[in-house]
Structure 1
Amino acid sequence: MVFGAFERMMALRYLRSRRQESFISVIAAFSLLGIALGVATLIIVMAVMNGFRQELLSRILGINGHLTVYGAGEGIEHYDDLAEQLRQIAGVRLVVPQIQEQVIVTAGERARGAVVRGLEPAALLERRLIADSVETGAAERFRAGEGLLLGNRLAQTMGRYPGDTISLLSPQGNTTVIGSMPRVKTYPVAGTFNVGMYEYDSSFVYLPLEQAQLFFRLPDKVNAVELFLDNPDRVREVAAEAGKFVPASYRMVDWQGANASFFNAIQVERNVMFLILSLIILVAAFNILSGQYMLVKGKGRDIAILRTMGARRGMILRVFFMSGASIGLIGTLAGVVLGILFTDHIATLQHWVEALAGTRVFDPEIYFLTNLPAERDPLEVLQVVGMALAISFLAPLLPAWQAARLDPVEALRYE
């Protein structure tokens, strides 16, 4: 559809002439505002959902291995040999033998469940997420075997900080003449870590591997071997390769299987939110449709005069199409700008809202993360823009077609 100077001039004139004191009519203004808010909301929500997924994924994979081999029964003997075989698989970046057990952490009258992971200090501090989140000096104390590392929120809950002591109680008790007794041992706190994910910061404890082997009575053994890959998406291929020499009695769990329901739920929520928020744009498009019908009805005499002066049907159609489509175009561009600005400054806006409301609008106990993330996908932004423009351009077609079909004789019969 080619637009000439005449069509552009008339479309702009009709937009301006709906109300003398305003650029566009009230209906057109609400239509433009609705499309802008719809586009901006879609961009913001998609960016937040993307950021939420990416932040969770980076933290989950920064704490947990991409593939974990769990031993059977009494643990994994000769784990160094198994780890060396796993290191030979193409794409494996790091192999970490460790002990994973659940305990009760006690301090004074306070008690809380936690997950203990015992591993070599050097292997733990090779993980950038952990190494960057420990306190100054904590890494050196942990490497020297001078205590354990606590998640900072767990430390706050228990009221224990570097230099204090904390007790671990294992449900795997010691057998005595009077029955089974819980196994309890007190450790100094070497430091705390804060990875920014509530679930881990409030429930994880790291012990040096030798101390964990003594506490859980697994001498020269581990019960899990974690693998970190160069490309986490290749985990199924690596698992198939590892299965050639990992005993059949051992169990292998990859990050996709362990978190499948969680990330599938996020994907479903993204799709549903996209469909629901798209209705905002659809409603605004109906406002454009009704506004254009009102414009065509009010401009019947002008259309008849233009037709008698030689204007073709195609010119009339293009005039009214431009008049309605320009609302959608301006609204879409405004929505894109608003959405980009909002996502670029979402952390600042979050702090402002929390300061004004006097409460937290993004509770880490519920959302697992401490900050509201946002990560725009350029392809998704283009999809939103394309959808908004398509709906906005389809809406004025029917009124424009009706205007083009108007009979000049009937329009001027009673003038």
Structure 2
Amino acid sequence: MATQTLPAETADTGAHIQPTGTRPFAGFEWLLAGRYLRTRRREGFVSVIAGFSFLGILLGVATLIIVMSVMNGFRKELLEKIVGVNGHIFATPIDRPLDDYMAVAERLRKVPGIKLAIPLVEGQALASSQYANGGVLVRGISEADLKSIPFVGGNIRRGTLDGFDTAGGVAIGKRLADSLSLQPGDSITIVTPRGASTPFGTAPRIKAYPVQAVFEIGMTEFDSSFVFMPLTEAQAYFNRDGDVNVIEIFVDNPDKTQAVRDAIEADAPRPLVLSDWRQRNRTFFNALEVERNVMFIILALIVLVAALNIVSGLIMLVKDKTSDIAILRTMGATRGTVLRVFLITGAAIGVFGTLAGLGLGIVFARNIKSITAALNWLTGANLWDPTVRFLSDIPSVIDWGEVTSVVVMALVLSLLATLYPAWKAARLDPVQALRMG
């Protein structure tokens, strides 16, 4: 009887394995966990589940990094282009027309934090050529102010802005020029319903202008609809009696527009209504933020499903190794030893899957333009249509804080997935297990 009770006493006290009890994750535990991860004919199905768990975590982490990087780049590019072309703060008159716009703009330029104050005349019109037509937004602006907008003045693809105030021509976006089949020197006809007043009502105004320059901002909406016209010509065309619609203000830091607004209101040269880019684009950027959060949740479910696969795979492995666990316990292995063996087995899948997904995601995110171009060449299709997605190229900005959070999330889920199967393995009664075996 003494020999029969000895293994159980040894298993409970762990007297024969003091080195294992004092040193966590001993070498033989790593060796045993590694053997459980290798493919063997009898445990082939378990290995298949482990492989799918590895691929699931790899793809989940990589997809999260890629998608979040693209959405970060999408927001950054849209913000830079929308704010870079339209300004940060908009000042419109209250009591009377803004006919003293030169003095008001000069006064605004002296406010700390403001780098540009641009008077504009804006109006909707129809642009046409002998080939096609389309709706446009005409903006009257001076040559100096137009050149000072980097997304326009620094992106002239054809023609020139030199002599813009006196040449009598207009600058149009590249996509508008392509759709109307226009080159610099060609004529573009602009039609507005608000023309000259006659005894029979207001007659439409139709006038042809030579195309002086073609610009490309890189945002489809702007490149296909913007027409820049000399300020004095726009005032005459839209029947403005020496005044402007709005003064667009560009500040040094777009995220601190409220402080500049407070400074303008405290020292306003005349009563003005102020609005900023956040108010004008609130719905658009809120929608982007909601989409970004929803995409993160949806893609995180891929990692969660892979973690659940780890649970099922380890449970099957524990059931298959019941007799092995019983023999280990009778040889002196403690419950902690068995627990650590299966923790290592499950955690290895999560750790290596996460690291592989991290590498794949970063490589893909950093080279996404080249990969997209290669896929376009292979498929013969345009996978990134700028007319649908606003931007000319697919953007990608890696946020290392987000990457860290994705990696930590995947590692934590993988570790949590191993706890229950490892605990079940450690709680096995060796006597009962040997009887069942």
TM range (shorter): over 0.9
- Give 1:352 deviation, angstroms: 2.1
User: Aligned runs of 1:150-189 on 2, under 5 Å?
Assistant: 150-189=172-211
- Residue number in structure 2 paired with 1:401: 423
Letter in 2 for 1:192: V
Per-residue Cα deviation, 1:269-324 (whole angstroms, up to 9, x for no partner): 01111111111111111111011011111111111111111111111100001001
Q: Give 5+ residue unaligned stretches, structure 1.
A: none
Q: Select the residue among 330, 334, 351 that pairs with 1:308.
A: 330
- 8 Å CA contact retained: 1:95, 1:225: yes
Which residue identity lines up with residue 220 of structure 1 in the other structure?
G
| Secondary structure of residue in 1 paired with 2:128 | strand
CA distance in 2, matches of 1:144, 1:173: 22
Would the aligned equivalents of 1:166 and 1:188 in 2 still touch at CA under 8 Å? yes
Residues 42 and 384, structure 1, Cα contact 8 Å, conserved in 2: yes
CA contact (8 A) 1:16 1:24 kept: no
Q: Which amino acid aligns with 2:308?
A: F
Q: What SS does the aligned partner of 2:115 have?
A: strand
Deviations 1:79-114 (A, max 9, x none): 122112212222111111121111111223633211
- Tell me whether 59-68 or 241-250 shows the greater mean CA deviation: 241-250
Which of 79-88 and 138-147 deviates more? 138-147
Partners of 1:354 and 1:283 in 2: CA distance: 31
Tell me the TM-score normalized by structure 2: 0.90
Report the identity percentage. 48
Match for 2:397 among 339, 354, 375? 375
Quickly say closer, same or farther: Cα 1:21–1:282, change in 2 above 3 A: closer
For 2:72 and 2:329, how far apart are their aligned partners in 1? 53
Q: Distance in 1 between matches of 2:162 and 2:335?
A: 82
Q: 1:347-398 CA distances to partner (integer Å, 9 max, x unpaired)?
A: 1121222223322222212111111111110000001001100100100110
Residue 342 to residue 38, structure 1, CA distance change in 2 (3 Å): same
1:184-195 matches, within 5 Å, as 184-195=206-217
Shift of 1:18: 4.1
Deviation at 1:35, TM superposition (A): 0.5
Shift of the alpha carbon at 1:22?
8.0
Alignment of 1:234-253 (within 5 A): 234-246=256-268, 250-253=272-275
Whole-Å separation in 2 of the counterparts to 1:127 and 1:22: 65
Does the CA contact (< 8 Å) of 1:77 and 1:222 recur in 2?
yes
- Measure the CA separation in 2 of the matches of 1:110 and 1:33: 52
1:82 corresponds to which residue? Answer: 104
Cα distance in structure 2, aligned partners of 1:177 and 1:143: 33
CA contact (8 A) 1:328 1:392 kept: yes
Alignment of 1:10-409 (within 5 A): 10-16=32-38, 18-19=40-41, 25-72=47-94, 75-108=97-130, 110-135=132-157, 137-142=159-164, 144-246=166-268, 250-409=272-431
Distance 1:249 1:183 in 2: 32
Question: Which residue identity lines up with residue 130 of structure 1 in the other structure?
Answer: V
- RMSD, aligned CA: 2.1
User: Residues 57-85 of structure 1: CA distance to partner in whole angstroms, max 9, x if unpaired?
Assistant: 11111211100112358730211221122
Partner of 2:14 in structure 1? Answer: none
- Looking at structure 2, the residues matched to 191 and 137 of structure 1 have their Cα atoms a distance apart, in angstroms, of 4
1:176-217 deviation digits (Å, cap 9, x = unpaired): 233321122221110100111000000000112122122223
Give the Cα separation in 1 of the matches to 2:169 and 2:222. 19
| Aligned-pair CA distance for 1:265 | 0.4
